[in-house]
Structure 1
């Protein structure tokens, strides 16, 4: 039986006051969009309405209270945030039914309040951000969505029927958002879309003026510009590309990684390697050529980490097809791999394909691919022992009760948050915090994670 995709909850929003408030609103909406929420054009169609208030002048407070009143009257399910949120007692005295009141810049609380009022529906078939990413992104990393929809018609996928064809954002809008995120403390940008390599195809790569020069809406131009960004203390943020189909022009971003403008990491959704399965999936099938290109990419940028995901048990997949995939993985030596058992989803063309693979066969193949990729990962990580490499901290632990030493969970450039491995650090010293970037010596490794100490 096919899985039915539930409708995403809808959010309405009104943003009052200064440009800073608008940046906050954009940040909140970007996060909610990445969590799978849809935006509602009017109050009536929204599950929850956010009112981002201004409290600078009495007249602005008056306008804010009017806006809250209007949202309460037209919808009734209202969350208040922004500068006037600091006067929660005034708001609650007038509107005791508001669902939550939070102050300015309190992104975490706002998003948590929305999650509580109208829980997100995590959906592996549609979501771009990993399920663990439903908490508000820590301030040191941010998702940068560059487009919606997709022009592919893969037989197992329903995204085009939900999100439509590719619609790319203007390049200047993407770069402006990236610049604001970095100015607000982002140290790592995760570029996401349904097909990052196709960015700008729908607008014929329309150029826009940015910083006094013309920049095309094209993946390579965008990557080059993102590589020019700097944090407040002059450090280049990590820029990580996700959902990159291996079109020919992807070759042009590898030198940018070698130059240090881009994080040496590519997330490529290969899905399979067997030509007959790729054909049934309606995916481009040139796996031999891809192996040549991966070799060339590694020649140009030896540190490049390639992550991918694969579907096992697709209708019609034979033991020979699956063995082909395992042999291909031996050749490709991908750094990070996720695998999924095929599952029919309502509305996908693949549901009608002949040759359904029995559940126990799917399970057995899933175990075999995980075993294979864990062995590849373990060998690759073992080769990093003894090296010094940069990391970014995600979380700092409490001091040890006996000796006071402090550990931390960090990631290397080969690790995207929530989906890849970690670098577990010992003796990081006092004063370290999430988002700090520094070099560490790798002392040990297991199948998926590294262990190290600051140098």
Structure 2
């Protein structure tokens, strides 16, 4: 999908298609920020662009296919295409299918992308166009922003290609992260979504060294960073938490309201043998105890996770162990993937592959069981009052998210027939009904803006002379 336009008359125009995860979206934002600072205009159409950048995903074969299709579409519609992102780490695969692309760069190679754009269409030289907002260019709604705290990953999970694509862990100094977060908050962002490949490992590669922010030194450690982010007066949501014991240290911050009571922990499986084959922590019994402890400390805690079914060697007993574990864990949000044998990851060569039809059947069984659990967890919220961040408003009403809902991943809170609010408003609502993944609510906070009916009535009211 092409990004929205950022118009400047008579400037060279760039189209950008951003695929993949939020971490790739942040890469796209950095590229756009640099190009707009140089005076380029961002076009919302292929036809209006002098050149098109396609930021690709290469994590799974299905994602690679989607990326190749997007490159082909851009070539057909525009003809001048620069490829970047994770699939760019395999330039031969791209050239084999699309030899006409102008240039190929890998993930995080921002300077190379910008240089390729310069070669394709020279930047303008008007100094008055070289201005961008201090918070940079963002592709998310104005009230929500992703905050990337590190690149790469030191884990070597047997099913994952990320270290090969993005390299080992490289953490940003805490002061740099906090300065960016502060600029975003000052620009009107109401929710910071903290992302990386392994958020729990933040700062480990730099010895958790401290860096200056405001009048203090802040260590590059997740708990210290989260506490400092919590002082900015915005929602702070932590994503991609690896299940280290240090996660326990985050719960007091959540209980105090410093960060949202939301944990996104990809457990991946529950069978010890499958977890060992995945090269993941295998003490799931202890995880159940920790879940109980977390919920005791922070009753409003939402736990989201992802799992893989059909991993090589997964038996019916292994899968049943996963179902039994999920029944006991009662997680709020669950995503599930069917294993894909991606070239370059160790698990692709493991013996005893699970037939696709078996993996498909297991996927449906897991999702059916979890749907009932998720509905039960949501139904327990009926009658409660909670804060909601409004995302969209149209003629049918408003749609927002609670602290339990990450943007574009989890469910929503629907306010039918409600008007007078705007995207970015943080209001209180009372939950009236639960669906399988969404909540229906009515607002308690009065709207800050008059409704259409109120404006009409005001226009018809007699004026005093």
Q: CA deviation at 1:428?
A: 2.7
Q: 2:282 aligns with which of 280, 285, 293?
A: 285
Query: C-alpha deviations, 1:106-153, integer Å up to 9, x for none?
Result: 999x77xxxxxxxxxxxxxxxxxxxxxxxx200101000000010100
- Partner Cα separation in structure 1 for residue 135 and residue 218 of structure 2: 31
Separation in structure 2 between the aligned mates of residue 275 and residue 173 of structure 1, nearest angstrom: 40
Which of these residues, 394, 403, 418, is aligned with residue 413 of structure 1? 403
Determine whether 1:423 maps to 2:413.
yes
Paired residues of 2:135 and 2:187 also in contact (CA < 8 A): no
Write out per-residue CA displacement over residues 177-223 of structure 1, whole angstroms, 9 at most, x where no aligned residue: 11111111110000000000000100110011222222110000001
Distance change >3 Å, CA 345–CA 428, structure 1 → 2: same
The 5 Å alignment of 1:14-93 reads 36=85, 38-42=108-112, 46=116, 48=117, 71=118, 75-77=119-121, 84-85=128-129
Q: Is the 8 A contact 1:83 1:104 kept in 2?
A: no
Q: Output the CA distance in 1 between the equivalents of 2:219 and 2:110.
A: 30
Q: 2:398·2:419 contact (CA, 8 Å) conserved in 1?
A: no
Question: Quick check: 177-186 or 206-215, which moved more?
Answer: 206-215
Measure the CA separation in 1 of the matches of 2:161 and 2:126. 37
Query: Which residue of 1 is the match for residue 432 of structure 2?
Result: 443
Is 1:251 matched up with 2:241?
no
Equivalent residue for 2:148, pick from 145, 148, 154: 145
Q: What's the counterpart of residue 332 of structure 2?
A: 335
CA distance in 1, matches of 2:126, 2:291: 48
For 1:228 and 1:442, the matched residues in 2 are separated by 28
**1:385-406 deviations in Å (ceiling 9; x for gaps):** 11111100110012xxxxxxx5
CA deviations over 1:229-258 (Å, ceiling 9, x no partner): 1xxxxxx21100001012111111101111
Partner of residue 230, structure 2:
227
The answer to whether structure 1 residue 186 and structure 2 residue 221 are counterparts is no
Q: Distance in 2 between matches of 1:41 and 1:157?
A: 26
CA positional deviation for 1:41: 2.7
CA distance in 2, matches of 1:433, 1:82: 36
Sort the Cα spacing of 1:194 and 1:424 in 2 relative to 1 into closer, same or farther, 3 A: same
CA RMSD, 1 decimal: 2.9
- Residue pair 2:208, 2:221 contacting (<8 A) in 1 also: yes
CA distance in 1: counterparts of 2:433 and 2:441, whole angstroms = 7
Where structure 2 has 5 or more consecutive residues not aligned to the other structure, the ranges are 1-19, 39-54, 58-83, 86-106, 445-465
Q: 2:176: which partner in 1?
A: 173
Change (3 A) 1:211 1:311: same
Equivalent of residue 212 in structure 1, options 179, 194, 215? 215
Q: After TM superposition, give the deviation of residue 427 of structure 1 in Å.
A: 3.8
Q: CA deviation at 1:429?
A: 2.9
Q: Using the alignment, how far apart are the partners of 1:450 and 1:191 within structure 2? A: 25
How far apart, in 1, do the equivalents of 2:161 and 2:419 lie?
Answer: 48
> 1:335-376: CA deviations, max 9, x gaps?
000000000112111000011000110000000010011000
Counterpart CA distance in 2 for 1:81 and 1:246 is: 50
TM-score by length of 2: 0.71
Structure 1 unaligned blocks of 5 or more? 18-31, 49-70, 87-102, 112-135, 230-235, 399-405
Give me the whole-angstrom Cα distance separating, in 2, the residues matched to 1:183 and 1:107: 9
Q: Describe the shift of the 1:218–1:428 C-alpha distance in structure 2 as closer, same or farther (beyond 3 A).
A: same
**CA distance, structure 2, for counterparts of residue 253 and residue 181 of structure 1:** 23
2:272 — aligned with what? 275
Question: SS in structure 2 opposite 1:228?
Answer: helix
State the partner residue of 1:302. Answer: 299
Equivalent position of 1:453 in the other structure: 442
Match of 1:394 in 2: 391
Q: Distance in 2 between matches of 1:199 and 1:438?
A: 32
Q: TM-score, normalised by structure 1?
A: 0.73
